[in-house]
Amino acid sequence: MTSKLIFVALPVLLLAAGTHAQTTQKKDLAYPDEHHFRNMRQLTFGGDNAEAYFGFDNQHITFQRTDVKNGVPCDQIFYGAIPAKGKSDFKFKLVSTGKGRTTCAYLLPDKKHLLYASTHLAMDTCPPVPDRSVVKKYVWPIYDSYDIFVAGFDGKITRQLTNTPGYDAEATVSPDGKKIVFTSMRNGDIDLYTMNIDGTNVKQITNTTGYDGGACFSPDSKMITWRASRPQTAEQVREYKDLLAQGLVMPTAMELFVANADGSDARQVTHLGKANWAPAFMPDGKRLIFASNHEHERGYPFNLYIVKLDGSGLERISNDSGFDAFPMFSPNGKQLIFSSNRNNGGNRDTNVFICDWVD
């Protein structure tokens, strides 16, 4: 879902296989007006932890971490079992190669493998980040060296799902285990594609100028939601294409869309302005949960919101003063996982939190 790219830079502690993060839980991690959250627990402590997604068994997650201070300059993928309630000891292990930059992991229905995007075929080291003193805009890099791979929990890659020139990443799996939706630049623009779970039968499902990404399926696998930019004026289109030619996108103006799983009947859900992103379907399949900064002129903080598929019923559900994003429900709809700056002691750490959901 989402790079699934991150709006904030996050320093992270890399832990080798078999290690764990453990600390004393704060008594109440949810704010008093966060009425939908109950029994909130913090799973990671320190560094940059984001894009945590449940497996099909409701019991395991993958997520990405970065830690410049400890010799890991860009994201790698980790996997772990959610600890029993009342315990703060979250054990996890590295499941990506440790080479290049990785993103957008998702557990597969066989409960033995995961997929993720990686740049490691191009180089073992991290790809360069944009020099904003030159670009002078807030931009995301769209590395053309990203491809999507399948790996076992031992870290060994078993299959390469994409092998075309240009960016391929941001893949998620349908709940029925049959399809993958992903983002690709193979046609010269950034669009959504679907393929079978084995990588066959690739189809392009969006074709409007602008960035389309971070897609995920509805609980019944019949619909998708995603974030998109839609440059309107000639100047906006020119700026978008000029940046894209440099392998960059500017993610400051995005709205949420929904469509049938084949891309038909696409329609815009939000018209809020600013950055609305990281959408996921609610368990009822009739609403979306997402991150947004639309209430803040300075573009910060980001909080979590709920909205109906017709754009009505907007409700803010989180209230951290920094960053709440990447929300995802467990397949059984009972728990919510997300990333947040809360309880970080005033530094820039972003951690993974889990809670029971109260509708």
The whole-number pLDDT of residue 2 equals 45
The whole-number pLDDT of residue 24 equals 47
Mean pLDDT of 6-10: 38
The whole-number pLDDT of residue 136 equals 82
Asked if 163 contacts 202 with a C-beta cutoff of 8 angstroms, the reply is no
The two three-digit tokens of residue 192, written as one number = 């959504």
Mean pLDDT of 184-207: 97
What is the overall mean pLDDT for the chain?
A: 91
For 48-79, how does the pLDDT look when each residue is reduced to its tens digit (9 = 90+)? Answer: 999 999 999 999 999 999 877 777 789 999 99
The whole-number pLDDT of residue 16 equals 40
Q: What is the dihedral of CA 318, 324, 326, 328, to 10 degrees?
A: -30
For 260-280, how does the pLDDT look when each residue is reduced to its tens digit (9 = 90+)? Answer: 999 999 999 999 999 999 999
Question: pTM of the prediction?
Answer: 0.92
Phi/psi for 12 (5° steps) reads -135, 150
Question: Does 133 score more than 90 pLDDT?
Answer: no
Question: Does 14 score more than 80 pLDDT?
Answer: no
For 235-257, how does the pLDDT look when each residue is reduced to its tens digit (9 = 90+)? Answer: 999 999 999 999 999 999 999 99
Phi/psi for 26 (5° steps) reads -65, 145
b/e per residue 17-50 (b: at least 16 CB within 10 A): eeeebeeeeeeebbeeebebbeebbbbbbbbbbb
Domain 20-357 annotated CATH 2.120.10.30: yes
For 142-161, how does the pLDDT look when each residue is reduced to its tens digit (9 = 90+)? Answer: 999 999 999 999 999 999 99
DSSP letter for each residue of 119-140? -TTT-SSPPPPP-HHHH-S--E
Mean pLDDT of 180-208: 97
Domain regions of the chain by residue span = 20-357
Question: Does 191 score more than 70 pLDDT?
Answer: yes
Residue type, 207: N
What count of other Cβ atoms lies within 10 Å of the Cβ of residue 260? 13
